[in-house]
Amino acid sequence: MTNEALQNLISAWNLDLGFSEEGSQFLNVSVKPDRLHFLMEQLKINQETKFDYLFCLTGVDWGQNLGVVYHLESTIFRHQLVVKVEIDDRDNPIIDSVSDLWSTAEFHEREVYDFFGIKFNNHPNLKRLFLTEEWDGFPLRKDYEDDINMVIK
């Protein structure tokens, strides 16, 4: 399925989505946090999309907002898609987990929680993955400061 056909199909779901292809081979879809899980579930189960493979889940600090970027692929139809969700609340960033849809998300979400502090509702075991429980802060945030461990060139 082409990016244009994917966009037309997904647009028909009336989820108030944003679309772009700027500088990417992938169609990019932006979704509001409260619609994320529903969109992801539809992308997986819809007979025309069947995105059965989550091959990347990444946390992002866009300055004002935090976010998560998901790369999906249909191994059946061989099309790919990028889904982006932006979270306005930097103090308490929360979105729904997609680990119930793709089990590989479980560890990716733990990594995002560990380094960005984004919490995932309904995650089966949300705790730090790389850093110790005593670690203060989230080191991949742009506003993170650590005078002891910071390497200065």
CATH of the domain at 52: 3.30.460.80
Concatenating the DSSP letter of every residue in 78-114 gives: --EEEEEEEES-SSS-EEE--TTT-TTHHHHHHHHHH
Instruction: Tell me whether residue 61 is in a domain.
Output: yes
How sure is the predictor about 150, in pLDDT bands with cuts at 50, 70 and 90? Answer: low
Instruction: Tell me whether residue 108 is in a domain.
Output: no
- The pLDDT, as a whole number, for residue 90 is 94
What contacts 73, CB < 8 A, 6 or more positions away? 51, 52, 53, 55, 79, 80, 81
Beta-carbon count within 10 A of 23 CB: 6
How many domains is the chain built from?
Answer: 1
pLDDT score of 36 more than 60: yes
Range of the domain at 84: 3-95
Instruction: Tell me whether residue 128 is in a domain.
Output: no
E-assigned strands of the chain?
A: 18-20, 27-31, 53-61, 66-73, 80-87, 94-96, 119-121
Instruction: Tell me whether residue 22 is in a domain.
Output: yes
- The pLDDT, as a whole number, for residue 146 is 78
Instruction: Tell me whether residue 47 is in a domain.
Output: yes
Of the candidates 27, 79, 30, the residue with the CA atom closest to the CA atom of residue 53: 79
Instruction: Tell me whether residue 103 is in a domain.
Output: no
Token code pair at residue 4 = 């244009």
- Report if pTM > 0.85: yes
Instruction: Tell me whether residue 123 is in a domain.
Output: no
Instruction: Tell me whether residue 120 is in a domain.
Output: no
